[in-house]
Chain A
Amino acid sequence: KQEVTQIPAALSVPEGENLVLNCSFTDSAIYNLQWFRQDPGKGLTSLLLIQSSQREQTSGRLNASLDKSSGRSTLYIAASQPGDSATYLCAVRYNQGGKLIFGQGTELSVKP
């Protein structure tokens, strides 16, 4: 069964800290992996898309890595800010058809 797990479920850090969110998937034959952010009551905002052939992607203070063989991805957030507070979701696609399998998310709180 294809499952996606995110650890931790919740994380609270002081402003300025660098942090890592983890995502693991049971079937390593992925097509690509997408990280999203969800603010309370809002939709999902795409942060980064990593193709199966890539090892990492960067956007501003965000860096996502992918290790297919071990079934893991990490989202690194540098110099965290209160505005980064949100739920971060990892989702995996296994074929070109494109349905996403989601983890439960990590709820991040960055304290000023």
Chain B
Amino acid sequence: EAGVTQFPSHSVIEKGQTVTLRCDPISGHDNLYWYRRVMGKEIKFLLHFVKESKQDESGMPNNRFLAERTGGTYSTLKVQPAELEDSGVYFCASRLLGAVNTEAFFGQGTRLTVV
């Protein structure tokens, strides 16, 4: 069974450009999460989907970030326009819905560099 898959693995863009990150969760996992790690800091939560609905978006840094999960399958995270401080590694995770105390499975991350 495939794990959580993220595309692309690396992205280098110029300040002001737009980038879209994609996450394909494990099949059947209705919980989907986005996290990011900026240089020297801990991994921080961005937002949480349950199926196609945003359950918690308290970690989204500002309105330049837009996450979608149309149809409740894969998710995209768009940064528009990108700023230098957006550089970091963006992780996606998925987890079963309805089961108590299940573990989260993470993708390999997308390393975003804004120059």
| Chain A contact residues, CB within 8 Å of chain B | 4, 31-32, 34, 36, 42-46, 49, 51, 89, 91, 96-105
Interface range for B: 20 to 34
Query: Are A98 and B108 within 8 A (Cβ)?
Result: no
Residue of A nearest to B10 (CB): A41
Which interface residue of A4, A34, A51, A100 has the most chain B CB atoms within 10 A?
A100
Query: Are B42 and A104 within 8 A (Cβ)?
Result: yes
**Contacts A42-B108, A105-B42 given; does A98 touch B100 at CB 8 Å:** no
Query: Are B109 and A89 within 8 A (Cβ)?
Result: no
**A-chain residues with CB within 8 Å of residue B93 when the two chains form the complex:** 44, 100
B104 within 8 A of A: yes
Query: Are A103 and B105 within 8 A (Cβ)?
Result: no
Query: Are B91 and A34 within 8 A (Cβ)?
Result: no
Cα distance, A60 to B48, chains bound together (Å): 32
Query: Are A44 and B106 within 8 A (Cβ)?
Result: yes
- What are 15 A-B pairs at a CB distance below 8 A? A4-B42, A42-B108, A42-B109, A43-B91, A43-B109, A44-B106, A46-B103, A46-B104, A49-B101, A98-B31, A98-B33, A99-B33, A99-B48, A101-B45, A103-B42
CB of A64 to closest CB in B, whole Å: 12
Cα distance, A43 to B23, chains bound together (Å): 13
**A-chain residues with CB within 8 Å of residue B107 when the two chains form the complex:** 43
Within 8 A of A (CB), among B42-64: 42-45, 48, 55-56, 59
Query: Are B104 and A34 within 8 A (Cβ)?
Result: yes
B22 within 8 A of A: no
**Contacts A97-B55, A98-B31, A98-B95 given; does A51 touch B43 at CB 8 Å:** no
Query: Are A89 and B43 within 8 A (Cβ)?
Result: yes
Which interface residue of A46, A51, A98 has the most chain B CB atoms within 10 A?
A98
**A-chain residues with CB within 8 Å of residue B31 when the two chains form the complex:** 98
Query: Are A102 and B106 within 8 A (Cβ)?
Result: no
**B-chain residues with CB within 8 Å of residue A43 when the two chains form the complex:** 4, 6, 91, 106-109
